[in-house]
Amino acid sequence: MTKTRKQVRAELAFSGRSVTDWAKEHGFNPSLALFILNDDEANPKRKCLRGESHNIAVSLGLKEGKVYRTQRWYDPSPNSLQTSNLPSVAAPIIRLSYLPSHPKREDEVK
């Protein structure tokens, strides 16, 4: 059975959780979850037909369906950061001094 946006907001308020906390806990984009939950019930801007919007709507109970995900937007686990692909902090800074300076206009040249 599907719920209305008002019912979902009431359930979150009753449990003392914010939409942002719920979204992070479930690995969704908090801004998108807020947008979907605060959207107009009668004429929503996001139809939640596919992708992350669909997954959020199904997880909130706004529509029936199956959540299909290949990657989480937000992973709260401490091991979610992979530092192997990050550049070293001691990486040299490249200066752009090789670029020519801006040519002066004719009225500036004396």
DSSP track, 16-84: T--HHHHHHHHT--HHHHHHHHTS-SSS-S----SHHHHHHHHHHTSS-S----SS-S---SGGG--GG
Output the pLDDT for position 60. Answer: 95
Whether residue 105 lies inside any domain: the answer is no
Q: State if pTM tops 0.85.
A: no
pLDDT band at 16, cuts 50/70/90?
A: very high
Determine the residue type at 73.
W
Domain-located, residue 76: no
CA distances from 44 to 5, 40, 56 (A): 11, 5, 14
Q: Is residue 106 part of a domain?
A: no
Fill in the amino acid letter for 57. A
Give the structural domain span for 54: 5-60
Per-residue confidence (pLDDT) for residue 100, from 0 to 100: 57
> For 26-75, how does the pLDDT look when each residue is reduced to its tens digit (9 = 90+)?
999 999 999 999 998 888 888 999 999 999 999 999 999 999 876 666 66
The amino acid that residue 49 corresponds to is L
The mean pLDDT value for 72-89 works out to 55
Q: How many domains does the chain have?
A: 1
Residue 70 lies in a domain: no
Measured CA to CA, the distance from residue 25 to residue 2 in angstroms comes to: 21
User: Mean pLDDT score of the chain, rounded to an integer?
Assistant: 79
